[in-house]
C-alpha cells in the first residue's frame, strides 16, 4: 500500500537578506494520540461512559505542523 509522506527540501532563498525567515505549514496529519478519532472513552461523575475530546487535537482529528527556518551566517570554520 502506498503512503503519502510530506517532505521539505531545505535550500537557501535567492535573496536571503530580504527573506531571512521562511515558514511552511503541513496540515491534515492524523492525530497519533487519539488515532484520528478526536475523542476517548472516559467516565463522568456517575461513572457513565462518555466521549471526551482529545487533549492534543481538541477533537479536530488532525494536526498541523508549522516549520520555521531562519537563515543566519555560519560562524563555523571556513573551508
Query: pLDDT tens digits for 45-70?
Result: 999 999 999 999 999 999 999 999 99
Contacts of 69 (CB under 8 A, 6+ apart): 10, 21, 22, 23, 24
| CA atoms of 79 and 69, how far apart (whole Å) | 24
Question: What is the chain's alpha carbon radius of gyration, rounded to the nearest angstrom?
Answer: 21
| CA atoms of 60 and 33, how far apart (whole Å) | 12
Query: pLDDT tens digits for 3-51?
Result: 777 888 999 888 878 878 999 999 999 999 999 999 999 888 999 999 9
pTM over 0.75: no
Amino acid at each position: 500500500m502506498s503512503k503519502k509522506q510530506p517532505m521539505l527540501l531545505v535550500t537557501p532563498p535567492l535573496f536571503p537578506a530580504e527573506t531571512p525567515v521562511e515558514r511552511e505549514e503541513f496540515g491534515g496529519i492524523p492525530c497519533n494520540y487519539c488515532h484520528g478519532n478526536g475523542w476517548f472513552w472516559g467516565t463522568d461523575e456517575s461513572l457513565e461512559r462518555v466521549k471526551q475530546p482529545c487533549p492534543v487535537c481538541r477533537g479536530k482529528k488532525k494536526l498541523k505542523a508549522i516549520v520555521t527556518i531562519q537563515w543566519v551566517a555560519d560562524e563555523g570554520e571556513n573551508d
